[in-house]
Amino acid sequence: MGSQLAALNEWVTEVAELTGPDAIHWCDGSDVENAALVAQMQADGTLIELNQQTHPGSWLHRSDPDDVARVEHLTFVCTTEQDDAGPNNHWMSPADGHAKVDALFDGCMAGRTMYVVPYCMGPIDSPLSRCGVEITDSPYVVANMRIMTRMGAPALARIEQEKSFVKGLHSVGELDPERRFIMHFPEELTIKSYGSGYGGNALLGKKCHALRIASHQAKSEGWLAEHMLILGLENPQGETHYIAAAFPSACGKTNLAMLIPPEGYRVDGWKVWTVGDDICWMRPGSDGRLYAINPEAGFFGVAPGTSASSNPNALKSIQSNTIFTNVGVTADNQPWWEGIDNGMSPVTDWRGEPYDASKRPAAHPNSRFTVSAKQCPCYSPEAENPAGVPISAIVFGGRRPSLVPLVFEARDWTHGVLVGAAMGSETTAAASGAVGVMRRDPMAMKPFCGYNFADYFAHWLSLDDGRNKLPKIFHVNWFRKGEDGKFLWPGFGENLRVLEWMIGRVKDEAHAIETPIGHLPTLDDLNLDGVSLSDEARAKLFDFDRPGWKAELDSIGDYLEGYGPRMPQALKDEQQRIVKALVAIEPS
């Protein structure tokens, strides 16, 4: 027996002693196992059968109404030194963290089955992939992990060969928000999550492992674990460039990753291939370029707003073999959500009550679909390549109703890291709490970085070692609003125009105007043929508002200072360089 199997068996025994389950089931990931779990969940009401003619193999899960999103205020990073977790994380000492949560786990699986779920994040045969084991008492979690990760026997076989694996312990507990914690122990490669069945809190391979624990591991091993989609942009010459893009939760990563080019572009032969829609692990290859894999095997996407016009590829992907969570249903039992725009209407809302628009939306704003990436019509064949895909451009973006133009390019890597560090966005329904509040969300990692942001930015800067051939960095803002409060940019497929300009820049073919905030596209080089834009849109999407940016840079300076002496001087110098450039062009 390999040493990791011995360690795994020992841990399973320990957990069983603590939690006291009635039975232990080791998951092999097979169809037979899944069918039995689904039948059991159908019998006890955890899963509700949807219309099997229109949506074969698809199910609805209604969660506890108090358990519908990530809970950032209950999410902790437990490092020996508080400063290692940083001001960006809630912190507890490892001893306190274990004690707090172990008290909850004590005896919590009595009367339940404990599932042992071995999984691999990334293609089974990729050196970039990493394994973990989630122990859970939720069959719904098992069914979702089977879609979202490479789960079961092949992962167990890989764990046998590995030096380490991430240990994740999960129980839905009583689903009591007062008895809920999502604890991370990066130094021990351990996660303990209690009291929630919601994806981001309970599918431990996703945010807990692939971002919080992996970001910590990545720092010590010289790679990056990021909250980014990965797409391949194929031009009419058949050349594909890969782009990784970080946007906060529920800001359109899935839509961009599955983009359908506008008509004219399609006719010319442009295509977008999806490698991933949420998480990207990348590492410098022997040629110095960054190579990326999507550690996930499925999509846990936001349902509302997904339609045949906004994201036809997602809609096709979820026509079968999909678990829907917290959506509404139609009279003939089809899943329904706000913005599906399919001519149908809901009769039952996400809480299982008769739909009443004055009471609540049919689908929860953070309702989700879980589906295998293999069902996506534009899933990239390269997504399974163990070597990963070479990244040509990194994109940062958030919801910025004012100030921030449609797109700009960072002048170099250090500037790009500052642009990522300064990212701001309005909050969304993906996390509990107020929606639409502006906050800094560096690199879309605010809820997910498993260590001090100051050290994280230093790690990003360290990749620029003079040998690596790093991607260009851009910032986009699809969410700029006009005086009437409406979006100025049409978004969705039209975003391809911006991606085309970026690749033009990468290939040194497209032009830009240098400004203190970065390089803005020349309107000759960004193809706007066929897009109707108001004069206000043309002015604001490509503008550079000097006083507004001076205030923004001052606020960025204050933000960096908030991290104290650990903040890399190079980033503070970069902020100062831009402030000086802004002041230099101040009209006297």
Active site residues: 251
Q: Does 278 bind ligand OXD (CB under 6 A)?
A: yes
- Contact code string over 117-156 relative to ligand OXD, x by CB under 6 A: ----------------------------------------
Q: Quick one: which of 70, 150, 283, 400 contacts ligand OXD (CB under 6 A)?
A: 70
Least CB distance to Mn ion at residue 278 (A): 4
Least CB distance to ligand OXD at residue 366 (A): 8
Rounded (5°) CA angle 86-88-91: 60
Q: Does 441 bind Mn ion (CB under 5 A)?
A: no
Which residue number, 75 or 334, has a Cβ lying nearer to ligand OXD? 75
Q: Quick one: which of 249, 274, 326, 427 contacts Mn ion (CB under 5 A)?
A: 249
Q: Residue with the closest Cβ to ligand OXD?
A: 249
**DSSP-assigned beta bridge partners for residue 299:** 371
Q: Does 278 bind Mn ion (CB under 5 A)?
A: yes
Least CB distance to ligand OXD at residue 396 (A): 15
Contact 24, 16 (CB under 8 A): yes
Which residue number, 70 or 505, has a Cβ lying nearer to Mn ion? 70
Which residue number, 293 or 430, has a Cβ lying nearer to ligand OXD? 430
Q: How far apart are the first and last CA of the chain?
A: 76
**DSSP codes joined into one string, 75-116:** EEE--SSHHHH-TTSEE--HHHHHHHHHHHHTTTTTTSEEEE
Beta-carbon neighbour count of residue 22 at 10 Å?
11
Least CB distance to Mn ion at residue 324 (A): 18
With CB under 5 A as the contact rule, which of the stretches 122-130, 241-249, 454-462, 520-528 interacts with Mn ion?
A: 241-249
Q: How many residues bind ligand OXD (CB under 6 A)?
A: 7
Task: Give the residue from 206, 228, 67 showing the smallest Cα distance to 145.
Answer: 206
Beta-carbon neighbour count of residue 128 at 10 Å?
19
Residues 177-206 that bind Mn ion (CB under 5 A): none
Cα separation, 155 vs 203, whole angstroms: 16
Which residue number, 200 or 252, has a Cβ lying nearer to ligand OXD? 200
Which residue number, 132 or 301, has a Cβ lying nearer to ligand OXD? 301
Q: Quick one: which of 60, 430, 476, 520 contacts ligand OXD (CB under 6 A)?
A: 430
Cα separation, 203 vs 201, whole angstroms: 6
Return the one option of Mn ion, ligand OXD, none that residue 70 interacts with (CB less than 5 to 8 A, by type): ligand OXD
Q: Quick one: which of 249, 313, 414, 575 contacts ligand OXD (CB under 6 A)?
A: 249
**Number of H-type helices and E-type strands within the chain:** 17, 30
How many Cα atoms occupy the beta-carbon half-sphere of 473 within 13 Å?
25
Q: Quick one: which of 198, 291, 299, 300 contacts ligand OXD (CB under 6 A)?
A: 300
Least CB distance to ligand OXD at residue 435 (A): 13
Least CB distance to ligand OXD at residue 290 (A): 22
With CB under 5 A as the contact rule, which of the stretches 105-113, 216-224, 270-278, 460-468 interacts with Mn ion?
A: 270-278
Taking CA atoms, 56 is separated from 37, 335, 377, in Å, by 17, 12, 17
Least CB distance to Mn ion at residue 42 (A): 29
Q: Does 243 bind ligand OXD (CB under 6 A)?
A: no
Cβ burial 360-377 (10 Å sphere, 16+ → b, else e):
bbbbbbbbbbbbbbebbe
Helix, strand, or coil here: 523? coil
Q: Quick one: which of 21, 29, 86, 200 contacts ligand OXD (CB under 6 A)?
A: 200
Return the one option of ligand OXD, Mn ion, none that residue 200 interacts with (CB less than 5 to 8 A, by type): ligand OXD
How many Cα atoms occupy the beta-carbon half-sphere of 272 within 13 Å?
30
Helix, strand, or coil here: 393? strand
Q: Does 198 bind ligand OXD (CB under 6 A)?
A: no
Rounded to the nearest 10 degrees, what angle do helices 413-421 and 546-561 cross at? 80
Helix, strand, or coil here: 541? helix
Positive/negative CA dihedral, 266, 270, 275, 277: negative
Instruction: Classify the phi-psi angles of 65: left when phi > 0, otherwise alpha if psi is within -120 to 50, otherwise beta.
Output: alpha
Which residue number, 186 or 301, has a Cβ lying nearer to Mn ion? 301
Least CB distance to ligand OXD at residue 216 (A): 18
Return the one option of Mn ion, ligand OXD, none that residue 300 interacts with (CB less than 5 to 8 A, by type): ligand OXD
Least CB distance to ligand OXD at residue 484 (A): 30
Cα separation, 514 vs 516, whole angstroms: 7
With CB under 5 A as the contact rule, which of the stretches 76-84, 85-93, 243-251, 568-576 interacts with Mn ion?
A: 243-251
Residue 259, burial from CB neighbour count under 10 angstroms (0-12, 13-18, 19+): buried
Which residue number, 249 or 326, has a Cβ lying nearer to Mn ion? 249
Q: Quote the tokens at residue 142.
A: 């098992």
Q: Residue 49 contacts by C-beta under 8 Å, 6 or more apart in sequence?
A: 42, 59, 60, 333
Q: Which residues bind ligand OXD (CB under 6 A)?
A: 70, 199-200, 249, 278, 300, 430
Q: Which residues bind Mn ion (CB under 5 A)?
A: 249, 278
